Amino acid sequence: MDKKIAVLGAGAIGSSVGADITQAGYDVVLIDQWPAHVEAMKTNGLRIILPEEELHTPVRAYHLCEVCTLNTQFDIVLLTSKSYDSCWLAQFIKPYLKPDGVLVPVQNSLNDEWVAPIIGAERDVGCVVELSAEVFTPGIVQRNTSHQKAWFGLGELTGEITPRLQELESIMKNVGRVSLTPNIMSAKWTKLISSSMLLGPLGVLGLKLWEATEVPGVLELLIRCGTEAMTVAKALGFSIEPIFGLGPADFAGSTEDVVRKLAGTIVLHGKAGTKVRGVSLQDYLKGRHTETECLNGLIVSKGKQVNVPTPANAAIVEVDREICSGARKPDRSNLARVQQLLAAQS
């Protein structure tokens, strides 16, 4: 436990991870750009509210501007920021990452494609995360996913199962279940497919996960977004890896069959926590930009590379832009706008 660990981007996910591995006895610092949250962590630690318990953990927290005063280099950096902050934060932390250190993008998108060229692919370990949480009050995190249900997939970009990968497994087991995979980028694509179905679409519609089957036309839109994303993934040569507790048999069948199974499983999980708000909806409520460009927008740009049409994902990106510009609000009435855009593209 002598490794020096930094959690860079201590939002809801970063705080959840940082609190757990701190509690496990690791040498951890949490670094964030939200001043009030950092000050709250410094003064009172982190209060993590889970479905079955409430935890209070004293943590070592730092503002970005204080990192230069630490006079240290880290063995492990867990990058838990928004995807659109990945590149500049990778540049920021690069001088503080040991030459043989490792950075793990614990994020929703294909962040390794952007981070690895900055820090060096040999220092990048891929990660898929299944953990829902939110933070609206400094120092207080509502963690929606229990330790038993949280899951992390870890993998070397080379596909090897290395000692450092096994070390990361032992660390992250304090946060949730962990699997090691020789095919991490395919696993990340599978997560991207699920994110393209859920985060952007439900966010622009102002819906919680469980409401996906309550509003006519919504589930069909989610499946269309996911089908486009999976078609792009297959065209790029990526297979689909089991996530969300599903097995290989669940990923057999046509693209639409697999997407329907994936969507149904995720929505079923959502019904277990009716108060859960997706991260895109949380961002709208905070008045900040979402990761939709890095999710649905990435599907659109990747689709263009392989000549796969992605009109549903493009429509979600456009409505997201309209909301972020102040022209709209996240609301289920935006379904009509999405359908209008789809009709225009056809």
Can you give the CATH number for the domain in which 294 is found? 1.10.1040.10
* Judgement on whether residues 205 and 151 belong to the same structural domain of the protein: no
* Judgement on whether residues 320 and 243 belong to the same structural domain of the protein: yes
Percent with pLDDT over 90 in the chain:
82
* Judgement on whether residues 94 and 45 belong to the same structural domain of the protein: yes
* Judgement on whether residues 71 and 194 belong to the same structural domain of the protein: no
Final residue before a domain boundary, out of 182, 197, 217: 182
Q: Which residue has the higher pLDDT, 76 or 242?
A: 76
Task: Read off the pLDDT of residues 98-137 as tens digits, 9 standing for 90 and up.
Answer: 999 999 999 999 999 999 999 999 999 999 999 999 999 9
**Buried b vs exposed e over 328-343: b needs ≥16 C-beta within 10 Å?**
bebebebbebbeebee
pLDDT at 341: 96
Tell me the mean pLDDT in the region 275-300: 92
Q: Which residue has the higher pLDDT, 214 or 330?
A: 330
* CATH code: domain of residue 162: 3.40.50.720
Confidence of residue 342 (pLDDT cuts 50, 70, 90): very high
Judged against a pLDDT cut of 80, whether residue 284 lies above it is answered with yes
Tell me the mean pLDDT in the region 276-297: 92
Euclidean distance between CA atoms 127 and 109, whole angstroms:
10
Q: Which residue has the higher pLDDT, 66 or 277?
A: 66
DSSP 70: S
Q: What own/partner pairs with CB < 8 Å and gap ≥ 24 does 83-88 have?
A: 83/107, 83/108, 83/109, 83/111, 83/291, 83/294, 83/295, 84/289, 84/291, 84/293, 84/294, 85/9, 86/111, 86/114, 86/115, 87/114, 87/115, 87/118
Highest mean pLDDT out of 67-81, 251-265, 273-287: 67-81
* Judgement on whether residues 264 and 129 belong to the same structural domain of the protein: no
pLDDT at 37: 98
The answer to whether 5 touches 78, Cβ cutoff 8 Å, is yes
Q: Could you tell me how many residues make up the chain?
A: 346
Percent with pLDDT over 70 in the chain:
92
* Judgement on whether residues 160 and 199 belong to the same structural domain of the protein: no
Strand, coil or helix: 152: strand
Final residue before a domain boundary, out of 182, 200, 215: 182
CA dihedral (33, 201, 172, 135) positive or negative:
positive
Confidence of residue 95 (pLDDT cuts 50, 70, 90): very high
* Judgement on whether residues 29 and 171 belong to the same structural domain of the protein: yes
* Cβ-based burial of 312 (10 A; exposed 0-12, middle 13-18, buried ≥19): buried
Task: Read off the pLDDT of residues 197-252 as tens digits, 9 standing for 90 and up.
Answer: 989 999 999 998 878 778 899 989 999 999 999 999 999 999 887 665 566 666 66
Tell me the mean pLDDT in the region 171-194: 95
* Judgement on whether residues 213 and 226 belong to the same structural domain of the protein: yes
Final residue before a domain boundary, out of 157, 182, 207: 182
pLDDT at 274: 52
pLDDT at 242: 66
Task: Read off the pLDDT of residues 126-148 as tens digits, 9 standing for 90 and up.
Answer: 999 999 999 999 999 999 999 99
Q: What is the mean pLDDT of the chain?
A: 92
The answer to whether 107 touches 81, Cβ cutoff 8 Å, is yes
pLDDT at 213: 78
Euclidean distance between CA atoms 346 and 105, whole angstroms:
37
Residue type, 226: G
Tell me the mean pLDDT in the region 142-157: 95
* Judgement on whether residues 225 and 271 belong to the same structural domain of the protein: yes
Domain that holds residue 200: 186-345
pLDDT at 19: 98
pLDDT at 45: 98
pLDDT at 212: 79
pLDDT at 264: 66
Euclidean distance between CA atoms 160 and 308, whole angstroms:
31
* Judgement on whether residues 89 and 17 belong to the same structural domain of the protein: yes
Distances from the Cα of 67 to the Cα of 7, 35, 70, angstroms: 12, 14, 5
Count up the domains in the chain and report the number: 2
* Judgement on whether residues 67 and 117 belong to the same structural domain of the protein: yes
Judged against a pLDDT cut of 70, whether residue 21 lies above it is answered with yes
pLDDT at 243: 64
Compute, in degrees rounded to 10, the torsion defined by CA atoms 218, 220, 224, 227.
Answer: 120
* Judgement on whether residues 115 and 134 belong to the same structural domain of the protein: yes
Q: Which residue has the higher pLDDT, 266 or 273?
A: 266
Judged against a pLDDT cut of 60, whether residue 268 lies above it is answered with no
